Chain A
């Protein structure tokens, strides 16, 4: 199973939508993905070490070096397929490279 950490400023609206969209799309593409949604300010090195991919709403400074692949997921929020596809494709590429 691939674990994804979605994040936004308040940890309520955007990150939950990113989480739900990634889980649904990756399931449709045949991957077993489980995502969580958090507030950016709550992220710690220890927390992020438990995940395979980090998908913040936008370019994000969490105050330390992130050692897992990062895919900026904001365009998913528009729910416009042509905007979401490049993000999903990038996540799928990362999943393939994880080789899990």
Chain B
């Protein structure tokens, strides 16, 4: 299984200027389809799944002024790859809360989890959660202005130390 840092790619970091979740999913879905990373039904599956099982994460529990994130994903059958796609939203977009679906929150970053192997991805979410909840990482990300900076920051925080020695 891939280490978390290997699941990111500088070409899979996008800045989106949208106002609704649907616009976001349609825009990211078409980019991913163009790259062959998802199946044509991916966008609809994403919209459908998010409506029933939302993925917004309230990070106010992590610290003050930490922007919220969401982790949109589908069932494995709609994906062709194992990747994490990072989307910075120019304007925050409302999502429902993953663990309290009746609550709404505004999201600054969406981390789309692509997964085509049902057996292999147990750890992606838990490793992402560790990233979201440590070192003010999300706050730091929101202050970066280029895709390269965002990519480098994520790499610096998700690469296992032992691999760097």
Q: Which residues of A contact B (CB under 8 A)?
A: 8-14, 16-17, 20-21, 39-40, 57-59, 72, 74-75, 77-80, 83
- Cβ–Cβ < 8 Å partners of B100 in chain A: 58-59, 74
B63-117 interface (Cβ within 8 A of A): 71, 73-76, 98-101, 113, 115
- Cβ–Cβ < 8 Å partners of B125 in chain A: 13-14, 16-17, 77
Which of B7-15, B18-26, B35-43, B126-134 faces chain A? B126-134
- Cβ–Cβ < 8 Å partners of B75 in chain A: 10-12, 39
Per the bound structure, the CA–CA distance linking A17 and B126 in Å amounts to: 6
Q: Does B49 make an interface contact (CB < 8 A)?
A: yes
Complex partner residue of A78 from B101, B115, B118, B133, CB under 8 angstroms: B133
B52 in contact with A9 (CB, 8 Å) = yes
Per the bound structure, the CA–CA distance linking A81 and B94 in Å amounts to: 27
Residue of B nearest to A83 (CB): B61
B122 in contact with A80 (CB, 8 Å) = no
Listed A/B pairs (13) with beta-carbon separation below 8 Å: A8-B53, A10-B75, A12-B73, A17-B129, A20-B122, A58-B99, A58-B100, A59-B100, A59-B101, A72-B99, A74-B98, A78-B61, A78-B129
B130 in contact with A79 (CB, 8 Å) = yes
Per the bound structure, the CA–CA distance linking A9 and B52 in Å amounts to: 8
- Cβ–Cβ < 8 Å partners of A11 in chain B: 75
Q: Name which of B73, B99, B100 has the most chain A CB atoms within 10 A of its CB.
A: B99
